[in-house]
Amino acid sequence: MVFSKLFFVYLFLPLCLAVYAAARGTEHKNTVLIIFSLIFYAWGEPVYVVLMLLSAAVNYAAGLGIGRYRGRAAEKLFSVGAVVFDLLMLGIFKYSGFIAENINAVFSLQLPVPDIRLPIGISFYTFQTISYVIDVSWEEVEPQRRFKNFLMYVSMFPQLVAGPIVRYSTIEREIEDRHVSAEDVRYGLNRTILGLSKKVLLANQLSTVADSFLAMPEKASAAGVWLGAAVYAMQIYFDFSGYSDIAIGLGGLFGFHFDENFRHPFMCRDITEFWQRWHISLGTFFRDYLLYVPIFGKRRKYGGLLLVWLCTGIWHGASWNFVIWGLYYGAFVLFEMLIGKKNIKKIPVYLRHLYSKPVIIVGFAIFYYEDLSKLGSFFRTAFGMGGHGLITLQDRITLSNSCFLLAAALVCCFPLLDIIGAAGKKASAVRYISAALAAPAAAALLILSSLMLVDATTNPFLYFRF
């Protein structure tokens, strides 16, 4: 099931909220959430519900085993076994075809290439279960004694299929003891509508513009591919941050408080800061569970960094462009690490923006092209070797037709709500006006998004495929 569907917005979600509100006590509310979450997942992946249930059962048992055999050899057996199981499941369903293709190419073999449909959300819920097992092993959290509660953590539909990656420690207390206040409801509804609007009004519309510039880079102009990559960067941002907004908003409606996953990443001044603002749950996962893992007997600073960025790329997809994309960003993070934070801060801010934005735009072009031959065409065209000039008439027409959309998207990359909130703290009039306009603005966005969805066929979130 997709959040950006009228069926979800006007039937599934209201019905779930109504039944949830009618349920008495946290125990029954958890049951409601589990039932609706399994229906939500089974709507598009009926077979793979079994896979998710198996993953939940294995990691639940591993957590209990770690707690029971604390300090003994069996503890490591349970923790390592669960992580290996999780990675094998992810590898089989997500990477087996890619691995077989490359073995055939390198060794001139004809091994059968598995054609396995990727279970939606497997990368997200697998990383959640891995973080749980490791945190239990590190004694950061206590093992969950009830399978029902653990299943709810794994299957919770607001963040099940496209994140953010929610740590068990984040919602550990709220699983058994939570309350929904009027403020939670207000904030949750507004945040959910905001996320839906990002997806429907911005990301879906930007995708058409980005594709028109990037689909055939060998026939495009230099300005066209640069514009296309910049538009695609905004499309990805509004698509994924929109999903994260919906997840955080829905979590609030049920009494859960998820961590932020995006903090206006295009406001960054360097690449390190960009990754501190972009897909925060993934970045902190790799930082906490991989960066400081001893390699070949002891912690190796640069080896750990290489491993993190290699895994960041691979996590996003079974294609070489994602590997290149991860190592590309890793190289710039290493470059900035070698310069040092203090030295980077001495560089004028405008120069840091002039350096970071082209790097980010090129990064999203690498992300866009799974076909490496087209990626090569992009680079040739972008750097004036494509033979189609600086800008074409068609580029001008596309730019003219989408100028208002692009202007709106660019403005929305800025922290507008934070700016209004800061102004409200200084001037009570601004605070009262913004509070009075919040509900009408949310209603208007919901109506506009609904109208855009009436004739829409399919508009899945891009991160469903990861």
Mean pLDDT by 10 residues, the chain (466 residues): 89 96 93 95 86 96 95 92 95 91 88 84 92 94 95 93 89 91 93 95 94 92 95 96 95 94 95 96 91 60 85 92 96 94 93 96 96 95 84 90 95 89 79 84 93 76 64
pTM of the model: 0.92
pLDDT of residue 291: 78
Cα gap 145→246, rounded to integer Å: 30
Instruction: At 43, list the tokens.
Output: 């709507």
| Residue labelled with tokens 């294995």 | 58
In sequence order, which residues have a C-beta less than 8 Å from that of residue 321 and are 6 or more positions away?
Answer: 366, 367, 369, 370, 372, 375
pLDDT of residue 293: 67
Amino acid at 97: G
pLDDT of residue 294: 61
In sequence order, which residues have a C-beta less than 8 Å from that of residue 37 and are 6 or more positions away?
Answer: 152, 155, 156, 157, 160
Instruction: Decide: residue 307, CB within 10 A, 0-12 exposed, 13-18 middle, 19+ buried.
Output: middle
Give me the active site residues, please.
316
Beta strands in 24-168 (DSSP E): none
Decide: 131 and 13 in contact? Cβ < 8 Å.
no
Instruction: Decide: residue 254, CB within 10 A, 0-12 exposed, 13-18 middle, 19+ buried.
Output: buried
Give, in order, the Cα–Cα distances in Å from 166 to each of 148, 162, 281.
Answer: 17, 11, 7
Decide: 241 and 192 in contact? Cβ < 8 Å.
no
pLDDT of residue 419: 85
pLDDT of residue 348: 95
In sequence order, which residues have a C-beta less than 8 Å from that of residue 152 and are 6 or more positions away?
Answer: 30, 33, 34, 37, 175
Cα gap 408→456, rounded to integer Å: 21
